[in-house]
Copies of this chain bind each other. A is one copy, B any other.
């Protein structure tokens, strides 16, 4: 009985990236190791190096895989609504794939696919009458708020986070923390949720609208 080679896996960089994204979604950024991605695909670790230029290159492919999930709205219609749709979609994709947050911490994402979000935002704002400068500054602010919210204000378990927040705020010494104690319930409400995200988004869009009409 001649030992046959295992059936060809037909590996591609994209298949490896998809498997790695699955590992990251399931077990977190730390779990993205060449050994585990290999195991996920049922191939020996070193085989990956035939398709992917090392771990750093694999990480880039993972981000691109997540960026491809962003569904862009049209540029037509009310500029505030369109921008809200765009930024809510970015937040949704980041919540689905938190590895995108972790990766963006190390360096900007400047692939053509990622820059399509910027192109759309500037188009929307340009049609709404914003100057190039106001559009660039305004969208940058919206973008950084959205990433900030996704990274630091969007916990995996919303209800448990709110409960924990209320407990901490209520157990502080009343003499030194009167305001936090008094607002324990209101603070807890801000710790997660669409409502808080859109509250901040609307603040920014309101202010942008006001600068345009003044």
Interface residues in chain A, defined as those with a beta carbon under 8 Å from any beta carbon in chain B = 101-102, 104-105, 110, 112, 115-116, 118-119, 122-123, 126, 132-133, 135-138, 140-141, 144-149, 151-153, 168, 172, 176-180, 182-183, 186-187, 189-191, 196, 199-200, 203-204, 206-208, 210-211
Which of B119, B137, B186 contacts A180, CB < 8 Å?
A: B119
Chain B residues positioned under 8 Å from A140 (CB to CB): 153, 187, 190-191, 196, 200
A191 to B107, alpha carbons, bound, how many Å? 12
Main SS of chain A's interface residues? helix
CA distance A146 to B200 in the complex (A): 12
Contact B144 A200 (CB under 8 A): yes
CB contacts (< 8 Å) of A136 on chain B: these are 183, 186-187, 189-190
B112→A101 contact, CB < 8 A: no
A2 → chain B closest CB, angstroms: 48
Structural contact, B105 and A137, CB atoms closer than 8 A: no
Give the nearest-CB partner of A148 in chain B.
Answer: B148
A200 touches B153 (CB 8 A): no
**Within the assembled complex, what's the spacing in Å between the Cα atoms of A208 and B210?**
12
- The residue on B at minimum CB distance from A141 is B200
Complex partner residue of A141 from B119, B138, B186, B199, CB under 8 angstroms? B199
Do A203 and B207 contact each other (CB < 8 Å), given the known contacts A137-B190, A144-B149?
Answer: yes
Are B144 and A179 closer than 8 Å at their CB atoms?
A: no
